[in-house]
Structure 1
Amino acid sequence: MPNSGTTGRRTTALAVAAAAALFGTMALPATAEAHGRGHDKPKYEDLQLLAINDLHGNLEPPAGSSGTVNEIDATTGKTVATPAGGVEYLATALRQAREGHRNSVTVAAGDLVGASPLISGLFHDEPTIEAMNKVGLDVTSVGNHEFDEGSAELLRMENGGCHPTDGCYENGRTFEGADFPYLAANVTSEKTGKPILKPYWVKNVHGIKVGFIGVTLEGTPNIVTAEGVKGLKFGNEVDTINRYTAELKRQGVKSVVALIHEGGYPASNVYNYDCGAGGSGISGPIVDIAKRIDPAVGAIVTGHTHNAYACMIPDPNGVPRSVTSAASFGRLYTEIDLKLDKRTGSIVRPSVTAANHIVRRDVPKAADMTALIDRYRALSAPIANRAIGYIPADINGRGSSALEKPLGDVIADAQLAGLAPADKGGAQVAFMNPGGIRSDLVYKASGSEGDGVVTYGEAFTVQPFTNMMQVKTLTGAQLVQLLQQQVSGLNEAAPKILQPSANLAYTLDMSKTGAARVVVDSIKLNGAAIDPAASYRVAANEFLAGGGDGFPAFAAGTDKLVGASDLDLFAAYLGSHSSVTSPLSVPAQTRITITGTGTDVD
């Protein structure tokens, strides 16, 4: 068989070519024939990525359910809630994780700042940027909350300088900004059409260029105040990443990682869920996005949904690709290990492994983080430690999985109480958006204030946006539309159930779809049916009142009156409705009756 050797080489070459076409960025081991010498082997450079997302300025350990992570107890097999988070522990965990790694890059997928507890939010999140500098963050994408105070403030976060209104917070000390780049590939100026920040960042790893492209969700304008995104356009995530991946390829960058502030909803809430075969155990926007991103992108780091997962989702060629998220508030970090092929400059896709790790509180605190927290804690103490109310037990908001959340009820009641007087807007009903409830009110003392005492700092953590309240006139028909928009339109796939004041009650039939889930005949305000032709004064924060979160019925309201901030109303309500001897009652969650779930609940 004189031609067997030639045929064998031809077959091998065809197989290699077919495999390369299938696997995109995967580098295949070189054969002896390809190099002409049997002892030649491919050479790789190891790279470790450490990733976080959605920190939201949580420098101190988050309280309540916001400060725990679900894991499986090895002994009992049961799910347990493990205390986690706090930058003193996060810094230690990241530094320990880097040990023994020649190449390590620390990345983030947006929302480092915004909706932050008082110790950071009071200082316009300068403390969080300083903490990330010390932690060793190398690069991050923007998230929607980076636009809470507008693009000018985002640029100040990166470039430094004292706040234009509040100035510098310490004598002789100017905020220096981020030591890391913010990436905003799909955020462009309406005037220039160019990205407002760098679209990508390239890291040279011992001669191999690795590109990082950062984007936020295309729907950012729907979840940020109009003022925060004024003058900006938000492009499609996939189109943007693919365009800049091609640009990086032209520059000789063959290894690419995407940092995307958009995420998914895993079937399990365990911190290291792998999403099952082919990513079958995860849903949400990131699934479609991941399946359409250029195969040259070797790994995808995500955020926004505050969920934890380490998945393999097929790329456009059907080849599994790592897609991860590290929950939120610094409770987890993701370790992604991969190999870079020195010959091709590409990520060896089959080499990519990823796992989430809990930021446990049983490790030594990082001394530099402790010093930073102590400094800002001292500056904020006169405001933060002031007692403003009393509670008899935990009142859960962020930590409640119910559609009607106890703390949401309290906030809506506070807004109605503050805006019902005729000279304050004459509000007849109030609504709170669930995403704006950023924490729980926890009975256990966070400091020396005593159990059951609510401090201003704790109230700020719950309502950190300081949105101004508005009262608008809606017709009865528009009020019904408002309730229907919770489960239809932009919110049909992922309902956003508004938290109503105590004088409104209705039924949601979850066996139905879209707007039909709202049982119109069940809607009662002060015990009376809604008159479609009548006018009603409705209170909401400026974000909701402007149509945010997919509620255009709010934007159609008329006769707008601007009131006090949501935080001021919340603090005033706690002060006037609770005392040491008569703490605030925990709402019974009977305003929304849920049916059609198999088990009907109030």
Structure 2
Amino acid sequence: MRFFRSGIAMAAGVCLAGLATVPPVAAEAGARPVDVQLLSITDFHGYIRPHNDAANGTIKDSQGNTLVVGGAPYIATHLKNLRAGHENSITFSAGDNFSGWPTEVSQHADEPTIEFLNRIGTDFTTVGNHELDRSLEFLRDHMGKGKCFGVIGVDSCFTDSSGRLFHGADFAISTANITRKGSTRPVLEPYVIKWVKAGWRRIPVGFINLTTPTTVNGSTSYQPSLDNLALVETADKYAAKLRRMGVKAIVANVHEGGTTTGDFYDQCANPSGPVMDFARQASPDIDAIVTGHWHAPFNCSIPDPAGNPRPVVEAAFHGKLINEINLKIDPRTRDVIRSQTVSTNHPVTRDVPADPDMVKMVDYWTAKGLETAAKPVGKITGDLTRARDTDGESTLGNLVADVELADSRRTPGGGADLAMVAVAPAKGSNSLRADLKYTGDGTVTLGQAWNTWGYANPVLTVSVKGSQLEQALEQQWQAQANGTVRFAPLAVSGNVRFSYDLAKPVGDRVLPENVLIDGQPLDPAKTYRLAGLAYTLIGADGYSAFAGYTDAVRGERDYEAFRDYLRNGPVSPPALDRAVALNANG
């Protein structure tokens, strides 16, 4: 528990279309402060089901003891207990609610997460980077408004645990710094104003919602049609605007990362990271900063530019913690009394009764997850495996390259000439996650396809020079500090053939004339359209050759692209004939 002692906090500004200037509250001699409770979670990622593994279901207390935490039934109970006795309580999220990793959530278009957030009485959320893992339209129209897409009950708009068809969020989704490319106007409402009771009057509290600037170029949230505005400048702009409107109690709800060196969930040891820099620079009118993104537990007090401390908090991830900030607002000035602000991170322990309605909800989606995962999505005629031959080819790797090419060619503006897949990347994680074996009549279920390839990355199509493609093929062999050479092969689509010479030095093993695309030699000066996962193209796999690509077009995510390809089957294992060694002995 932390107290933040300073002078009276000024407030920061945010804008709500059509809201008039807030009238002042009449002065009252000796008026008692108004109590306002803020309850927040962050980076929930659809973890409605209580998890029992150490990474997702535990957290350390101040003594180093391990607490078992998390799960929707326990979050609901803790929220109910925390709200007890509070007339003014506001519940919100610091982003990354969606793109659930648990399959019972992710295979249902994250709709179970929305049901959970609606049920716990969420008032609003900022947009995290993972809120944009599909598209702005998916976030705004499907998640926000309940608009269906694809086949109802198969692709979206599933029946929830209460028997209702998905209807979208009952809460506001907000961000001040995500815009259309070339615009400075936010794509969603930049802030939220909540009114709290002060006797028979009401006082406004403004929440500026912000999204990490790494979003639009992130590997999963890559959105070439969107742009990010800078955090500090955007926060200051809306803080000033809110202030002019008469909103003086202001909170920044920022999906941006910070960290500390302590393990305890309610500590602040050596704070660092971009959100801590933000906290030191953002307008003194902002009274508290709630954060997310780096999955860290901390409860800090960081001085604002005027030297006054204010809480900077993060409630870990996956529903392990609930942060509580208690503000006291002077009813005469409508300002937060900073010296009386208290902040606490509460562990979502499982030593309380599980909320029975939430237990039913979790059981419903868990069972539905098993049912959905068992649905057939296509057929194969033989094993698709990650086993690589001496040229680095595998049946699964080659197939995935074909999947990327097909996705690009059906995406408006895509039109790839070829595709590449990192099948044994020099760094990062491998998108080829499991073999897909032929069993029975070759039927592939959604669950099998989901587990075979992908990590929620979009297929991008970009423009690169032929010289970059040659360089990428050269980077399959990477010299190591100990003098060895690491082989990090790239799979290519079926319209590509290339040969290489191991007798040549690293960096000079592939000649342009030995790379054929649709039967034509690679032209180093020509511009080609290349399809690949965003993770690979931005260099996260360890291939720098693609840097400087242009004209990016986003296709489907890997999961959906693979499913669509299988639906057009049956799919046969590709031949391993796309890479040939000219001198295999080196």
> What is the TM-score with the length of structure 1 in the denominator?
0.66
- Of the structure 1 ranges 211-220 and 182-191, higher mean CA displacement relative to structure 2 is found in 182-191
Indicate if the aligned counterparts of 2:109 and 2:156 stay in contact, CA closer than 8 A.
no
- Match of 2:65, SS? strand
Q: Deviations over 1:340-375 (max 9, x none)?
A: 111110111121121111111222221222222233
Look up the match of 1:68. Answer: 57
Indicate if the aligned counterparts of 1:186 and 1:240 stay in contact, CA closer than 8 A.
yes
Indicate if the aligned counterparts of 2:473 and 2:510 stay in contact, CA closer than 8 A.
no
Shift of 1:335: 1.0
Look up the match of 1:158. Answer: 144
Separation of aligned partners in 1, 2:400 and 2:174: 47
Look up the match of 1:362. Answer: 351
Indicate if the aligned counterparts of 2:290 and 2:313 stay in contact, CA closer than 8 A.
yes
Shift of 1:86: 1.0
Shift of 1:158: 1.0
The AA in structure 2 aligned to 1:120 is: V
Indicate if the aligned counterparts of 2:50 and 2:57 stay in contact, CA closer than 8 A.
no
Matches within 5 A, 1:216-235: 216-225=211-220, 228-235=222-229
Look up the match of 2:425. Answer: 431
The AA in structure 1 aligned to 2:53 is: G
- Of the structure 1 ranges 56-65 and 205-214, higher mean CA displacement relative to structure 2 is found in 56-65
Higher relative contact order (CA 8 A, sep 6+): 2
Matches within 5 A, 1:465-484: 465=456, 467=458
CA RMSD of aligned residues (A): 4.5
- Match of 1:335, SS? strand
Separation of aligned partners in 2, 1:383 and 1:102: 42
Q: Deviations over 1:308-335 (max 9, x none)?
A: 1000111111221100001111111111
Separation of aligned partners in 1, 2:549 and 2:185: 35
Does 1:318 find its partner at 2:307? yes
Look up the match of 2:268. Answer: 274
Indicate if the aligned counterparts of 2:457 and 2:557 stay in contact, CA closer than 8 A.
no
Shift of 1:549: 5.2
Indicate if the aligned counterparts of 1:160 and 1:178 stay in contact, CA closer than 8 A.
yes
Name whichever structure is richer in helix by fraction: 1
Look up the match of 1:582. Answer: none
Look up the match of 1:264. Answer: 258
The AA in structure 2 aligned to 1:259 is: N
Look up the match of 1:340. Answer: 329
Matches within 5 A, 1:554-593: 554=546, 565=558
Alpha-carbon distance change, 470 to 192 in structure 1, aligned in 2, over 3 angstroms: closer
The AA in structure 2 aligned to 1:149 is: R
Consecutive unaligned residues of structure 2, counting only runs of 5 or more, are 1-5, 13-27, 376-386, 403-418, 435-445, 490-501, 516-529, 564-586
Separation of aligned partners in 2, 1:97 and 1:476: 60
Alpha-carbon distance change, 62 to 460 in structure 1, aligned in 2, over 3 angstroms: farther
Alpha-carbon distance change, 548 to 104 in structure 1, aligned in 2, over 3 angstroms: farther
- Match of 2:424, SS? strand
Separation of aligned partners in 2, 1:436 and 1:208: 52
Matches within 5 A, 1:400-479: 418-419=396-397, 429-431=423-425, 434=428, 456=447, 460=451, 465=456, 467=458
**How many residues matched?**
460
Shift of 1:73: 6.7
Separation of aligned partners in 1, 2:287 and 2:240: 14
Look up the match of 1:248. Answer: 242
- Match of 1:93, SS? helix
Look up the match of 1:3. Answer: none
The AA in structure 2 aligned to 1:161 is: K
Q: 1:545 aligns with which of 536, 543, 566?
A: 536
Q: 1:213 aligns with which of 208, 212, 215?
A: 208
Separation of aligned partners in 2, 1:250 and 1:193: 20
Separation of aligned partners in 1, 2:102 and 2:532: 19
The AA in structure 2 aligned to 1:372 is: M
Q: 1:92 aligns with which of 74, 77, 80?
A: 77
Indicate if the aligned counterparts of 2:44 and 2:319 stay in contact, CA closer than 8 A.
yes
Q: Deviations over 1:385-441 (max 9, x none)?
A: 79xxxxxxxxxxxxxxxxxxxxxx99xxx996621589967978522875899xx99
Shift of 1:196: 1.3
Separation of aligned partners in 1, 2:394 and 2:265: 38
Indicate if the aligned counterparts of 1:140 and 1:180 stay in contact, CA closer than 8 A.
yes
Separation of aligned partners in 1, 2:53 and 2:449: 11
Look up the match of 1:188. Answer: 179
Matches within 5 A, 1:372-387: 372-384=361-373
Q: Equivalent pairs: percent with the same residue?
A: 32
Q: Deviations over 1:518-565 (max 9, x none)?
A: x3844432897961133499x99612133165975345689x9x9994
Q: 2:291 aligns with which of 295, 302, 315?
A: 302
Does 1:525 find its partner at 2:494? no
- Match of 1:282, SS? coil
- Of the structure 1 ranges 545-554 and 195-204, higher mean CA displacement relative to structure 2 is found in 545-554
Indicate if the aligned counterparts of 1:524 and 1:530 stay in contact, CA closer than 8 A.
no
Separation of aligned partners in 2, 1:189 and 1:265: 30
Alpha-carbon distance change, 192 to 544 in structure 1, aligned in 2, over 3 angstroms: closer
Separation of aligned partners in 1, 2:341 and 2:58: 25
